[in-house]
Amino acid sequence: MNPYPVPPSAPPPVRRSDAPVRPLLTYSLLGLTVGIYLLQILGQALNFDLVTLLGIKYNDFIRQGELWRLITPVFLHGSILHIAMNMYGLFIFGPALESRFGRARFFLLYFLSAYAGNVLSFLLNPNPSLGASTAIFGLIAAEGMFLFQNRQLLSDRGRAQIINMIVIAGYNLMYGLVNIRIDNWGHIGGLLGGLIFTWFGGPRFRVEGIYPTYQLVDERQGHGALSGTAAVLLFFIPLTVLGWIWPMG
């Protein structure tokens, strides 16, 4: 008898050290955004859309101190097609990211990306704007950065997915350049917010253990949310101040 056990040709899949997270936050954001859009429709039917009036990104009102307008546009949309496209993006990217990041980090990723997008729009775009695409571009960027930082674990499949994320982001940015109604600065800001947050605070997995008890451990599980948040705020708060004191948009 061989005293050394021979491992099977196909080792068992590596498991995560933490339990998978159900995408409850993703679906809650989706439902809340749709609910707010219904309130917008009701307001338009009554010729008094208070929801949009109070929440849209409007630069002059932001300079008067209404700073919530750097976040609230993420819940507002201008048409059924507009909200359908953004909620489709949330549905496609949200569940996997929420599972990998955990609810707290996913929450921060979503709203810090929205904040970053609205800050760059506030700084460089004089027109009012609204929509969740700032946050959705942050999710696209986060997915790409996650794949890049964990590329050694994902191998060729990961590289193909990174290219796919670059193509998706590039196509949408190019589409924004030829459509004057689209706030491309908001999209670029959302991308930067998602990239920065994930670079400093997104999950970075390593394999621990020996056969047959391999498991994935997130090196940033304890401090990722804080690190990512601090990095985004340190980058975008000065831009917010710049837009306030030296309006270019």
Q: Where are the domains of the chain?
A: 19-245
The backbone torsions φ and ψ at residue 176, rounded to the nearest 5 degrees and listed phi first, read: -65, -30
Active-site residue (options: 113, 121, 129, 133): 133
Which of residues 22 and 73 earns the better pLDDT score? 73
| 223 tagged catalytic | no
| 187 tagged catalytic | yes
Three-state SS at 208: strand
pLDDT at 17 over 70: no
Residue 207 host element (H or E): strand 205-208
Active-site residue (options: 77, 187, 223, 227): 187
Query: In whole angstroms, what is the distance from residue 158 CA to residue 121 CA?
Result: 32
Among the listed residues 128, 124, 17, the one whose alpha carbon sits nearest the alpha carbon of residue 73: 128
pLDDT computed for residue 12 by the predictor: 43
CB contact at 8 A, 204 and 150: yes
Query: In whole angstroms, what is the distance from residue 228 CA to residue 225 CA?
Result: 5
Percent of the chain with pLDDT over 90: 65
**Domain 19-245 sits in which CATH superfamily?**
Rhomboid-like (1.20.1540.10)
Specify whether the backbone of 40 is left (phi greater than 0), alpha (psi in -120 to 50) or beta: alpha
The backbone torsions φ and ψ at residue 122, rounded to the nearest 5 degrees and listed phi first, read: -60, -40
End-to-end CA gap in the chain: 78
pLDDT computed for residue 38 by the predictor: 97
What is the secondary structure of 50-102 as a DSSP string?
A: HHHHHHSB-HHHHHTT-GGGGTGGGG--SSHHHHHHHHHHHHHHHHHHHHHH-
pLDDT, tens digit, 9 for 90 and up, residues 146-176: 998 888 887 666 566 667 667 766 666 676 6
Q: What pTM was estimated for this model as a whole?
A: 0.86
Residue 244 CB partners (closer than 8 Å, separation 6+): 62, 63
* Beta-bridge mates of residue 15: 215
Overall residue count recorded for the chain in this entry: 249
Task: Give the number of other Cβ atoms within 10 Å of residue 234's Cβ.
Answer: 11
